[in-house]
Chain A
Amino acid sequence: MPSGTVHCCEVRNLEKAFDQTVVLSNVNLAMPSGSFTVLVGASGCGKSTLLRTVAGLESPTSGSIWMGDRDVTALPPKDRDIAMVFQSYALYPHLSVRENLAFGLKLRRTPETEIAGRVAEASAILGLDALLDRLPKQLSGGQRQRVAMGRAIVRRPRMFLFDEPLSNLDAALRAEVRVDIRKLHDRMGGTTLYVTHDQVEAMTLADTLCLLRAGQIEQMGPPLELFDRPVSRYVAEFLGSPKINCLDGQLVYTNAGPHITIGSSTLSVPERYRALSPQSVVVGLRPHHLTPASAEAPQFGTLLVTFYEALGFETYVHGTLQGAGDKALVIRVDSNHRVARGDAIAIGVRPEHTVLFDPKSGRALDT
């Protein structure tokens, strides 16, 4: 029996190996009822395997999976009270939309009237009413995706599992469905475990974001915590677009107190790093934190512009940091800020936005 709070689903000390290849190790994950947990990570990090293990489609090498106060590790998917939306949607090609929705209920011998009611409800929520008698091959990608979600919600399971459900949609649709999924989650009140490699989905959907790296949980917590206080350079680089700027620097103590020097540029050290001894560091500076120098963001260097991307609502400026070799840097400026190649921009940053990592281990230095 688990101690303390009973979660909707809990993964304990999970290990999964295919032959000699270890795919997951020492994974512990607790999902409270009603939570929306997103598993994110690069390809091959084990996030899909973890989801499939929770679903019961893969069995773990060791460790256990609990649903409520039941150990479901040895149970087949059908006995876990879950529903899953597959990346390919996995609709039954020979069944109409209506039959696809009703399939799971029919297998459970739900009364016909109740099936009809639940299918009608789901199709109303998802706007499938006009499509009920079509076959999957007669639907567009977005429509299929909605049917796949419908198939999950008619079952009213304790838990929803999503395996990269938006990766086959175009960008505009993806943004739209992303919002729908979160709304649906809030409306249905189930617990959701969601796998994606897309950081925008991860950031926007999650209550709890779980970043996996090589089969282990690198960091888990609210999305903004991961974004602002990454435990490692890996997490910092994974989240955020454009990627965080990482510059090699030195933490030095002078008469004026602690400083970070990057080439000839100098940065002041945020409060939380003041206890550190002088050492080499990796300085993480997010592009949107780097702005033209101002009172709040005192100048620490000059950017020589080599290239810029004007997106209309903002502009990403690529350049090199003067006096720091050829250190490439990306900063974000307002779109009304005109730049041209060859410009020299004085850039600054608010001290508290600086994060430091150990150059060898890549761990954050603020612990």
Chain B
Amino acid sequence: MKAWLVSILLVVVAFGFVLGDCRSTAANRIVLWHAYRGAEEQALLELTARYEAQTGTTVEVLAVPFLAYASKLSSAIERDQGPDVFIDAHERLGSYRDDGLVVHADAAFPKDDNERYDAIATKVARDDEGVAWGVPFALKGVALILNTSLVEGAPDSIESLVKSRNDGAYPLAYEAESAYVHAPWLHAFGGSMLGPNDAYGFTGEPARKSVLFARSLVSSGLVPASADGALVKQLFESGKAAAIIGGPGLVSELPKGLPLRVMPLPRMHAAASAPEPFLTVELLFLAPRSVARPEVSAFARFLASDESARTRVRAQVVANAATWKGAEAIAPHLRAFHDAALASRPMSTRTAMRATWEPVEQAIRSAMRAPNIDTASLDAILVESARRFESSKPKTTSASKARGFTAVAVTLFAAALVAYRSSRPRFWSGLRASAGAYAYVMHAAIAVFVLVVLPLIAGAVTSFFSGPRNHMTYAGIGNYVDILTARGGPLLGYGSFYRTLLVTIVWTIANVTLHVTIGLALALLLSRPLLRLRGLYRTLLIVPWAVPSYVTALAYKGMFHQQFGAVNALLRKCGAEPVSWFSHFSTAFAANVATNVWLGFPFMMVVILGALTNVPKDVLEAADVDGATSWQRFRHVTLPLLLPQLAPAIVLGAVWTFNMFNVVFLVSGGEPDNQTDILVSEAYRWAFTRHAQYGYAAAYAVLIFGILWLTSRLSRRWQTEVA
């Protein structure tokens, strides 16, 4: 008993030390966060080491994965455990300022330093009043990357590049359906993705012309359709594309021997202005806890200094103007990226910018994939995309209305509770009676409470709030009302809850039916005692189950690619027309179902194989003697006897499929036009792409939970019936 107490005490003390250590901010210690990898990270570490040697300051460098960067940053800074300085893209400044994650950087970037950096970077780092919110560090943008063995000289326009001959390779490959890479065309025609006052910018003449321009490139067959980043890179590496559009990161990933040349995007004959790609300026941001710590500003100045830039320029496009004028041996492609950056357009720092990507890409996809397009249909596409931008904005439910609904909800909840209590009169006394037993499973009960119950409650509570993170306001059941009234639109209109629910139900039924059918057929085959190599077949058939689902999903996505996928290659071999799988609901849905069936049938097969061993052999023989054909025997004897064990597996499979986020998100990604989204992937979009409406997404999650809970309650009756 004593040993017990001592060990617990030791753990508590050790924990305390760790916590204390995390919280103490030593005077001479600076924490730096970044998301760099490779050469850029090396350069940064070299500089911090140099700084430590020169000043005796301790610099703690933490590389945080890019995808988790923003969320880790906000949660760490809120708990005062984050960095003093962090490197991040300037377009996040808007939300960081809103959330109070950054402070003025005037000490690190005094006005005297303005000339040191490229004018475009200085402009981005200072607000309209001239206050600095970060120190210019590096520039990130795209340029044209040419394979010099396929293209001679520098093309003087996009059109002439596309018309150049190059041994059967695509003259140009780029992510034609990405809004980011499409933006230069839009800018060249005088448009922008986000207009003044957060108005949607992908409208009118510029949007129309940019889409028609991109369409003409693809429909001429000179640019591959629906290429993603990986495909663009692969085409270029294998010499199947003479030129691509990409950034310095892409160049560093290309094989060393490839003869390259980088240049700013050439002008377009079709447009009056030059195509301006988006520019991201990486800034050194100062976190709130660096206030009144001059050594942090000094460190930031050191990192951004011209001297440091000479080290960093080996790996990145530094924002220091003088560095590029000097005679340092700078890689020519980095110099070209710098030239391209100076001709680029800094991305807006507004938070509304994030909500433009989805509708813009949707419009581009629709327009690019339509077999024919005229002014009217193009306008319809653009109007629809604008409508979606508007409808994804958080709605403000009026407080009085919300209060009324809340009262209703509370009443309903209380009524449900009373009903539940009265249906189980002995609930509390039963709980008290088994209190002793709970002592034995306390560890598990606590784990379940912390890991399952608490998040569930947190999620449910979140669903009563609206607005982005850190600015949530109480909305009562406003989110639910919004969702259940389809945001005022038609009940089965785009993005309505009911339409997604319908898709989800069809998705679940289709999958479970196929899972059970295929699983049953294979199990029946495998259970034949005379089958040779039974063990081998069984192992092979279980393999799809053993592979992580996202790996399978990505493999299937590749197989369904229109131009380069295995499925279309097979179709072509058989003389059939290739199918653009993700352009139509039916084919995209079929691709999703195929993937999920592949993932799901082994489970059913294993369950049924087990259940088959429980079907008495003599009962089957009795059926034979009674005159049953094989089918009758299966239908009237085997199947009814399998059902008691199959029923729970079917319910479980239905729940899994209902929530099968991986497949939908990774294979079709909701394409075309979010039509194949199911409820969970729709909820994900509300949380992470559409103005970050966590409350709205949480309400979706609660509704999904409610539907599944209700279904499982109903199915329990069915399960007892078949058993």
- Residues of A near any B CB (own CB < 8 A): 55-57, 76-78, 82-84, 86-88, 90-94, 103-104, 107-108, 151, 155, 161
Contact = CB atoms under 8 A, between A and B. Distances in A.
A103 to B, nearest CB: 6
Q: Interface centre among B621, B625, B632, by most A CB within 10 Å?
A: B625
Contacts, number: 62
A104 B627 contact: yes
A106 to B, nearest CB: 9
A104 B621 CA distance: 12
A91 B637 CA distance: 10
A55 B627 CA distance: 12
A331 to B, nearest CB: 43
Contact of B625 (A83, A87, A91, A108): A83
Nearest to A161: B625
Given A86-B621, A88-B618, A92-B619, A108 B627 contact: yes
B626 A57 contact: no
Interface string B583-620: 00000000000000000000000000000000010110
Given A94-B640, A94-B641, A84 B625 contact: yes
24 contacts: A56-B625, A57-B624, A78-B626, A78-B629, A83-B626, A84-B625, A86-B618, A86-B622, A90-B621, A90-B622, A92-B619, A92-B622, A92-B623, A92-B636, A93-B619, A94-B641, A103-B626, A107-B626, A107-B627, A107-B628, A107-B629, A108-B627, A151-B626, A155-B626
A151 B622 CA distance: 10
A104 B618 contact: no
Contacts of A78: 624-629
Given A57-B621, A86-B621, A93 B628 contact: no
Contacts of B619: 90-93
Interface of B: 616, 618-619, 621-629, 632, 636-637, 640-641
Contacts of A90: 616, 618-619, 621-622
A90 B620 CA distance: 8
B476 to A, nearest CB: 51
Nearest to A55: B625
A57 B628 CA distance: 13
A90 B626 CA distance: 11
A84 B625 CA distance: 7
B625 A77 contact: yes
Contacts of A92: 619, 622-623, 636-637
A327 B20 CA distance: 97
Nearest to B617: A90
Given A77-B627, A83-B625, A90-B616, 17 more contacts: A56-B624, A57-B621, A57-B625, A76-B624, A77-B621, A77-B624, A77-B625, A78-B626, A78-B628, A82-B625, A87-B618, A88-B618, A92-B636, A107-B626, A107-B627, A108-B627, A155-B626
Contacts of B622: 84, 86, 90-92, 151
A104 B632 CA distance: 11
Contacts of B621: 57, 77, 84, 86, 90
A57 B620 CA distance: 10
B528 to A, nearest CB: 16
Nearest to B639: A94
A93 B640 CA distance: 9
B257 to A, nearest CB: 65
A88 B616 contact: yes
A77 B633 CA distance: 13
Contacts of A84: 621-622, 625
Contacts of B624: 56-57, 76-78
B632 A107 contact: yes
B527 to A, nearest CB: 18
A78 B621 CA distance: 10
Q: Which 7 A-B pairs have the closest CB atoms?
A: A104-B626, A90-B622, A90-B618, A78-B627, A94-B640, A77-B624, A84-B625
A332 B357 CA distance: 104
B635 to A, nearest CB: 10
A76 B627 CA distance: 9
A78 B641 CA distance: 21
Contacts of A103: 623, 626, 636
Contacts of A91: 619, 622
Nearest to A88: B618
Nearest to B624: A77
A76 B621 CA distance: 11
A76 B626 CA distance: 11
A89 to B, nearest CB: 8
A230 B310 CA distance: 115
B222 to A, nearest CB: 66
A78 B630 CA distance: 11
Contacts of B626: 78, 83, 103-104, 107, 151, 155
Contacts of A107: 626-629, 632, 636
B287 to A, nearest CB: 68
Nearest to A148: B622
A350 B626 CA distance: 52
B714 to A, nearest CB: 22
Contacts of B636: 92, 103, 107
Contacts of A82: 625
Nearest to B618: A90
Contacts of A104: 626-627
A252 B636 CA distance: 70
